[in-house]
A = this chain, B = another copy of it.
Amino acid sequence: MRLGFVSAILPDLPLNEVVEFAFEAGYSCVELMCWPKGRAERRYAGVTHLDVTDFGRRQADEVRRMLENSGVSISALGYYPNFLTPDEEEAKRVFAHFKKVIQAAALLEVGRVTTFAGRDWTKSVEQNWPRFLKVWKPLVKFAEDRDVRIAIENCPMLFTNDEWPGGKNLATSPKIWRRMFEDIPSYHLGLNYDPSHMVWQQMDYLKPLWEFKDRIYHAHAKDVRLDRERLDDVGILATPLQYHMPKLPGLGEVDWGRFLSVLGDIGYAGPVCVEVEDRAYEVSLETRKAALKQSARFLMQYMP
């Protein structure tokens, strides 16, 4: 396993400084954000560490040169929009941009892109399914043709009233992953597994590792703290941020020793990328860097 981080937390640094910092802080890879340049639509989105708009062999060579002796590699190219947004125009733009991300991944020989499945959050899973298949079958085919694996994160994208009730990502549970992989039977589709989302959904985060061991292509290391007092007051039907807090690894409920223990036993040897979304560390660039350093210190106890 290789320790990395999601670059979205350092939007103020250019790519080369992200890479330098990664090395200094003890990371050996980075998941690079590849949003289209422009205004972010939500917190942690809209970051462009790699501009894939006009990305050809030349740009790829430049990036590779920069990384060559840096001690740091790219774990994946990341772009996490809502493919199934009710806004049809946006959906088209998103679709087109994602293809570019895939192409960039192919050119860079990274072989992996990370994203969400998307969801029309006003509709049930059932109601979303036909459109999910229609959108994703060609996308998976496109990735397959370039031998790039798509790793869908298991984040429900449901935090506050904006995403209520359904959230903006269908791929939230083993039951749904099973259906996804049955309906689109390509091994170029898999998971970007983040144990923290299992925790607040009250699910076991170890069991699925065994069942989906051939589908875990990327992993996020984010932690989460459930505050029982707050949950007791609002219940699971409330919007989730009313009772849980995303935290750095080690500051929440995930048993990282056990998680990485099972991850090792299923044969996973890929990247494990710290995703910083802990408000207590978002004051400044300095505190966000400190968050990454602390996370590396913590996780390195359990990783080779």
A residues at B contact (CB < 8 Å) = 124, 126, 156, 158, 161, 164-167, 172-175, 198, 201-204, 207, 210, 225, 228-229, 231-238, 245, 247, 250-253, 257-258, 260-262, 264-265, 267, 278-281, 287, 290-291, 293-294, 297-298, 300-304
Cβ contacts A to B, 9 pairs, < 8 Å: A174-B234, A203-B232, A207-B229, A207-B232, A225-B261, A251-B261, A252-B261, A261-B280, A265-B279
B225 touches A203 (CB 8 A): no
A233 touches B174 (CB 8 A): yes
Nearest chain B residue, comparing its CB with the CB of A268 = B280
B161 touches A233 (CB 8 A): no
B304 touches A290 (CB 8 A): yes
Most buried by B among A156, A236, A238, A253: A236
A252 touches B257 (CB 8 A): yes
> How far in angstroms is the closest Cβ of chain B from A169?
11
A280 touches B251 (CB 8 A): no
> How far in angstroms is the closest Cβ of chain B from A83?
19
> How far in angstroms is the closest Cβ of chain B from A267?
8
A201 touches B236 (CB 8 A): yes
A175-B233 contact in complex given A279-B265, A291-B304, A301-B301, C-beta closer than 8 Å: yes
A238 touches B173 (CB 8 A): yes
Contacting residues, chain B, for A231 (C-beta < 8 A)? 202-203
Contact of A257 among B158, B167, B251 (CB under 8 A): B251
A304 touches B281 (CB 8 A): yes
Contact of A303 among B124, B234, B257, B294 (CB under 8 A): B294
A287 touches B304 (CB 8 A): yes
Q: A165-B165, A204-B228 are in contact. List 20 more A-B contacts (CB 8 A).
A: A124-B161, A167-B237, A172-B237, A173-B233, A173-B234, A175-B233, A175-B234, A198-B235, A202-B202, A202-B235, A203-B233, A207-B229, A245-B261, A245-B265, A250-B302, A265-B280, A281-B304, A290-B304, A291-B304, A297-B301
Nearest chain B residue, comparing its CB with the CB of A267 = B280
Compute how far the CA of A278 lies from the CA of B295 in the bound complex, rounded to whole angstroms: 24
A237-B301 contact in complex given A165-B165, A279-B265, C-beta closer than 8 Å: no
Compute how far the CA of A199 lies from the CA of B264 in the bound complex, rounded to whole angstroms: 20
A297 touches B300 (CB 8 A): yes
Compute how far the CA of A165 lies from the CA of B238 in the bound complex, rounded to whole angstroms: 11
> How far in angstroms is the closest Cβ of chain B from A104?
31
B304 touches A301 (CB 8 A): no
Compute how far the CA of A258 lies from the CA of B229 in the bound complex, rounded to whole angstroms: 14
> How far in angstroms is the closest Cβ of chain B from A196?
13
Contacting residues, chain B, for A247 (C-beta < 8 A)? 261
Contacting residues, chain B, for A303 (C-beta < 8 A)? 294
Compute how far the CA of A225 lies from the CA of B260 in the bound complex, rounded to whole angstroms: 12
B124 touches A235 (CB 8 A): no
